Chain A
Amino acid sequence: MLVEFELIKRAQKGDGAAFNQLVLAYRKRILGTIARLIGHPEDVEDVGQEVFLRLYFSLDQLRSAEVFEPWLYRLTSNAAYDYLRKRRRRMESRMADLSEQQVVMADALASEKVDRDEGQRRRIREAVDSMLDGVSEEDRVLLTLKEVEGLSLKELGTIYHVKENALKVRLFRARQRVLKAFATARKHAVGASGSRQ
Chain B
Amino acid sequence: MDHDKMDHDKMGSDDTRLDALFAAYRDACPDPEPSANFMPLLWQKIETREHTSTVFGRLARNLVTAALALSGILALAVSLSHSPTLPTESYVEVLAEDQARESLDYFEPVHIEPAADQR
Contact = CB atoms under 8 A, between A and B. Distances in A.
Interface of A: 20, 23-24, 27-29, 31-32, 35-36, 41, 44-45, 48-49, 52-53, 56-57, 106-107, 109-110, 112, 116, 120-122, 124-125, 127-128, 131, 147-150, 175, 178-179, 182-183, 186
Interface string B1-30: 000000000110011111111101111111
B21 A127 contact: yes
Contact of B32 (A23, A35, A56, A112): A35
B20 A53 contact: no
Q: Which range holds the interface residue count of chain B?
A: 20 to 34
B64 interface: no
A57 to B, nearest CB: 7
Contact of B14 (A122, A147, A182): A182
Interface stretch (B36-44, B86-94, B98-106): B36-44
Q: Which applies to chain A's interface (DSSP): helix, strand, loop or mixed?
A: helix
B45 interface: yes
Contacts of A23: 39, 42
B85 interface: no
Contact of B29 (A35, A53, A56): A35
A56 B46 CA distance: 8
